[in-house]
């Protein structure tokens, strides 16, 4: 184990892949590995979220190029929506950052959003820590903003970038206002569309009206396919890093939220889901059926 | 307690309100009350969800009137988005079914979407069972479809109605496809808007292509403000009730999902969130800090 850990800490890509497999499969020794990870603050964890079709993967692709130009290393976890509802059909046109798959300074991994037990998979939290140990400068966690992942991701990432496209309609504006709550940075992609300027202006007014604690959510115009606005987005990421730097309160809350999710996973892992279902099936049509009495015995 | 239970079962509204308060506050005896509830299958639980501005509350208002015309009783739980992110601003124009607040055959209650521990509050599950015990014919659970509640509600309701409005744009269509996964019925509200027919036609094609197990999601045009299409929606609810009737598999899975959420709540209630946060705060800047070692002690 200590050999694997040493190689992981030295940035060895095969050791990284093996460590991630160990954690994903809960193979013997995986908890020991996680408990041996040193505290390392170097990796910036950036959540990239937004509705399908906003161009998140294309934007991540462009950000990877910008980071490589700086001589830095970057990892990506692409989170696929999964159980209990299958949004797979939405992913048809997802671009898989194919440009960078063979670059030694880039590590890309797909993961399912949910574990068997529901909720954002705790495996994503654990794999993120493995990647941090390997010393990457950036870790992007990309989620499709349908359902809950766009909210939950905000509990993991240092900085959450919400990617939207310019659109008309008051209702869309209202939905965007909801996303404003989780966005540290707004990227308005496909900003060469008609009426993009008006859209950006409205978002900026909204961001200004909601500025808090020294941070006004910047609204960055990008055209990811043509690499436009990507440096401005990198600068916004840098500015947000400086803003949250030394914010011990925020850091402790994020860590507590993460610990909470991991504890929940471990506590519920002992509950035999199949036995629970079998018991409910056997009893549910009886006259004396009461779910709360079953729940008490599993609690 | 048995006096309260008897009065609750007889449909006494004050006993209902007192029982709900008991459960919400976890006052002594609340678990005993829940474990004494008889199995009652009479109440149809209908989830109403969709994006802000779709007119969900107006539609619920119109459905209440239709149910009262049938001589039946109806209850509503209006779920307000809450912690960890505050979407309160979206609720500014929410119509609170004010028409029916004084009607003895209508019971309306607002609840917060999340408990202190995150996730859809288990209190909603418990309050729903209290309302079922009181013998209402219908229970509507209305949630704003931002974040995760629109997915989770599908685990509680017998039938989930997704309310949308006609809109242009391919991307919106794609997002609607995601909602198709959870919709037993689609209500296209504000169907007097331009291009509504084209929108409805596209949704119907999509519903047809995804029809499964004898059910093709019906797409109902409504103009809730003018009470149009509401009877058609009621008929779709009836048809879906007939469809899921005696589907033991579905019923047992829904009950197991509900039991799971309640067990999770009870198991995590013992974890002292403040102590966890304090421990993280004290240790996080030390050189030997490792979150997984803390997690192990709370698991």
DSSP string of chain B, one letter each residue: -HHHHHHHHTT-HHHHHHHHHHHHTT-TTHHHHHHHPPP---PEEEEEE--TTS-HHHHHHHHHHHHHHTT--EEEEEEEP-TTS--GGGGTT----GGGTT-TTEEEEEEESB-TTSSB-HHHHHHHHHHHHTT-SEEEEEE--STTHHHHGGGT-SEEEEEE-----HHHHHHHHHHHTT-SEEEE-STTSTTHHHHHHHHHHHHHHT-BTTB---EEE-BGGGTBTHHHHHHHHHHHHHHHTT-HHHHHHHHHHHHHHHHHHHHHHTS-HHHHHHHHHHHTTSTT--HHHHHHHH-
Name the residue of chain A whose CA is nearest to B91's CA.
A174
The pLDDT score that the predictor gives to residue B235 is 97
Task: Examine residue B275 and state whether it is found in any structural domain, yes or no.
Answer: no
The DSSP call for residue A212 is B
Is A163 in the same domain as A69?
yes
pLDDT in tens, A258-269: 888 889 889 988
**Contact between A153 and A160 (Cβ < 8 Å):** yes
Regarding whether B210 and B155 lie in a shared domain, the answer is: yes
Sheet holding A74-80, edge to edge: A106-112, A74-80, A138-143, A44-49, A159-164, A185-188, A219-221
Q: Is the peptide bond before B84 cis (omega within 30 degrees of 0)?
A: yes
pLDDT (0 to 100) of residue B90: 34
| Of the residues A203, A220, A245, the one at which a domain ends | A245
Pair A186, A213 in one domain: yes
Q: What pLDDT score does B89 carry?
A: 30
State which residues form the domain around A30: 1-36
Spans of chain B, pLDDT less than 50: 83-96, 115-118, 146-151, 171
Q: Looking at residue B60, which CATH number applies to its domain? A: 3.40.50.300
Of B223, B245, B267, the last residue of a domain is B245
CA dist B289 and B156 (Å) reads: 41
Separation in Å, CA of B104 to nearest CA in chain A: 28
Determine contact, residues A188/A164, Cβ cutoff 8 Å: yes
Flag whether A204 is in a domain: yes
Residue A213 lies in a domain: yes
Residue A60 domain flag: yes
Residues A152 and A122 in one domain: yes
Could you tell me if A7 and A103 lie in one domain?
no
| Cβ contacts from A onto B, under 8 A | 204
* B271·A260 Cβ contact <8 A: yes
CA distance B169 to A71: 40
The predicted structure's pLDDT at residue A149: 45
pLDDT at B116: 41
Nearest to B90 among A174, A268, A299 (CB): A174
* Among candidates B36, B148, B294 on the partner chain, residue whose Cβ is nearest the Cβ of A147: B148
Task: Choose the closest CB to A256 out of B53, B150, B277.
Answer: B277
Same domain, A25 and A134: no
ipTM: 0.82
Kindly state the DSSP code that residue A81 receives in the 8-state scheme: P
Same domain, B162 and B102: yes
Backbone dihedral angles phi then psi of residue A255, each to the nearest 5 degrees: -65, -40
- B114 and B199 in a single domain? The answer is yes
Q: Does B179 share its domain with B223?
A: yes
Q: Collect all residues of chain B within an 8 Å Cβ-Cβ radius of residue A295.
A: 259, 262-263, 266
Q: Is residue A271, in this structure, part of any structural domain at all?
A: no
Q: CA neighbours within 13 Å on the CB side: how many for B228?
A: 10
- Asked, for residue B292, whether it belongs to a domain, the answer is no
B284 to chain A: nearest residue by CA? A252
Q: How far is B143 from chain A (nearest CA, A)?
A: 13
Nearest CA in chain B to A262: B295
Number of Cβ within a 10 Å radius of residue A224: 25
Mean pLDDT of chain A: 82
Which residue among A35, A178, A263 places its CB closest to the CB of B290?
Answer: A35
Cα dihedral sign, B184-A114-A244-A73: negative
Residues of chain B found within 8 Å of residue A178, distances taken between Cβ atoms: 52, 87, 90, 146-147
In the sheet with B159-164, reading across from the earlier edge strand, the strands are B106-112, B74-80, B138-143, B44-49, B159-164, B185-188, B219-221
**Positions in chain A short of pLDDT 50:** 83-96, 115-118, 146-151, 171
Q: How many domains does chain B contain in total? A: 2
Residues A7 and A57 in one domain: no
pLDDT the model gives residue A142: 87
Residue A8, Cβ neighbours under 10 Å: how many?
25
In a domain, B281, yes or no: no
The rounded distance, in Å, linking the Cα atoms of A32 and A26 is: 11
Strand-pairing partners, residue B159, are B46
Question: How far is CA B39 from its chain centroid?
Answer: 20
Residues B16 and B48 in one domain: no
How far is A108 from A97, CA to CA, in rounded Å? 8
In this structure, the answer to whether residues B67 and B78 fall within a common structural domain is yes
Q: Please give, rounded to a whole number of angstroms, the shortest distance from the CA of A103 to a CA of chain B.
A: 31
- ∠ CA(A232), CA(A236), CA(A238), 5° rounding? 115
For B143, list phi and psi in degrees, rounded to 5.
-125, 150
């Amino acid at each position: 184990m200590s050999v694997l850990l040493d190689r992981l800490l030295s940035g060895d890509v095969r050791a990284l892949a093996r460590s991630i497999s160990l954690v994903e499969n809960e193979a013997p020794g995986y908890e020991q590995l996680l408990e041996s990870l040193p505290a390392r603050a170097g990796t910036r964890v950036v959540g990239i979220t937004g509705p399908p079709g906003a161009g998140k993967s294309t934007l991540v692709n462009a950000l990877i190029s910008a980071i490589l130009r700086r001589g830095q290393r970057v990892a990506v976890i692409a989170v696929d929506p999964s159980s209990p509802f299958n949004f797979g059909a939405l992913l048809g046109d997802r671009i898989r950052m194919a440009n960078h798959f063979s670059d030694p300074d880039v590590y890309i991994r797909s993961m399912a959003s949910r574990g068997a037990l529901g909720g954002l998979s705790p495996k994503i939290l654990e794999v993120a820590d493995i990647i941090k140990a390997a010393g990457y400068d950036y870790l992007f966690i990309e989620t499709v903003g349908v359902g809950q992942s766009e909210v939950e991701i905000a509990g993991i990432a240092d900085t959450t970038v919400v990617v939207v496209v310019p659109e008309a309609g008051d209702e869309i504006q209202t939905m965007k206002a909801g996303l404003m709550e989780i966005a540290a940075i707004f990227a308005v992609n496909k900003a060469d569309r008609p009426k993009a300027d008006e859209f950006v202006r409205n978002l900026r007014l909204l961001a200004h009206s909601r500025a808090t604690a020294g941070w006004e959510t910047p609204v960055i115009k990008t055209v990811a396919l043509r690499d436009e606005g990507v440096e401005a987005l990198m600068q916004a990421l840098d500015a947000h890093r400086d803003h949250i730097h030394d914010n011990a309160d925020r850091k402790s809350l994020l860590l507590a939220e993460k610990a909470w999710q991991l504890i929940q996973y471990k506590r519920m892992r002992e509950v035999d889901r199949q036995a629970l279902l079998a018991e409910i099936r056997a009893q549910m049509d009886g006259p004396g059926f009461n779910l709360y009495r079953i729940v008490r015995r599993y609690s």
